[in-house]
A and B are shown apart, each in its own frame.
Chain A
Amino acid sequence: MADKCTYRLLGWLGRILLGIVLLLNMSGKAAYAAEEADHVLYRNETTGYEVYVYDQAQVLSELDAERLAEQMKELTQYGNAVFWSVQDNPLSVSGYAEAHYLNLYGDESGILVVLDLGKERAGVYSTGRIGRAFGARERERLASSLRRSIKNGSYAPSAQVIFSRALSAVEGEFMARVTKYACNALIALILAMLINFVAVNLSSRPQWTSDSELLEATLSYFDNTEPEVEFVTTVDHYKPNTGVQVLEQLNKNPFDMRRF
């Protein structure tokens, strides 16, 4: 009888504990979601893409943040735009940018610009449509070129340059792709013309008849007596191998470095 009551009591305790844990978890997620929502400054109603600014290192003034956000809004036609600043981080800057973007938006189209104050570098990650237009090489090159600006404290302008360039790239992507196809077509045509020229050159010029072919058509006669070989003289030329030459030089004068 006492045992039955104990088990019942323990069961209820377990249920209460589980409830508390669930409650805490949900409130944590809610807190995180709420925190995330704090950093989302804009959401494009048409595309669903967002402007996300997380100035952990507090490099932006209010005015800077507004201006930057306005610029980033234009990118939301094509993908998410994220600005992130950090004092220091153990990863590479670009690795850090990639990890955080994937954590936030997964494989959605977008761009994340991170300013790492500790390393005094910018890191850029882009994917999807923005990634196709604003590729890894261009990102690296741009980030490297802005290093001095970041070192001098021009954080907001540096970020603006990156977002502006990304926007130009994605808006000009169609033009770039068309030009690329046109270029491929012209290169293919030039290659075809050169290949055809080689074929024409080989087939359209008279071929030279060799002397042996000319001789085959003649009436010929050849005879010779057995050759007599007469020895004349022997010529001896001293010509040591390269290694032997060096050794001989060393033997003659080991301290003379001029020969080397």
Chain B
Amino acid sequence: MANELFQKMAQSIIDGDSEVAVELAEQAIAQGIDPLEAISNGFVTGVNKVGEAFSVGDVFLPELVMAGDAMKSALATLEPELKKLGSAREILGRVVLATVEGDIHEIGKTLVGSMLGASGFEVYDLGVDQPAEKIIGKALEVNADIIGMSALLTTTMVRQREVIEELDKEGLRPRIKVMIGGAPITRDWFEKIKADGYSEDAVGAVKIAKGMVGKADQ
């Protein structure tokens, strides 16, 4: 029975159907299924499948984003139950995400947030046009493991360096790792500003983030 439910859960993520995902999460609670198991054996399986399918070009960004959204809805339904049971979902890490100051582009960054959230990270997405002090302040507040910064313009990507320099000045690295992304970001830039990771796309970003918290996929 539980297996069948887990399969349906995975499928709801693959279908990107938030409503069905929530319904199945509620069913799991009603049937007394361990929410942690529902997440790891059910919903996460779906996220992984969508990620794999994206990597080989069978599905595309819309499926990826909707899978992320469905995952978020399922988790939101299960969280209160987890708290009630006193058990906490294993969180791979805490990530503060932002588009840097002066830049209002956020499609890529939101996508990364959605995939990280779906993969088990706790994501704090600050949105766009965020100055260094806000980003670092939030990271300290939530005890973040990772700061992720996006920039779409060559004129704003220099802000990524400012945040890193600020972190170094405060002695917050390597405790807080920095990953960067965005259209103008190159490996050269990544090396130049001494960030800890960068990725071309959202699926790659999840891999990098997992590596940063010592939970790299086998």
Query: Are chains A and B native binding partners rather than an unrelated pairing?
Result: no
Chain A: residues with CB nearer than 8 A to chain B? Answer: none
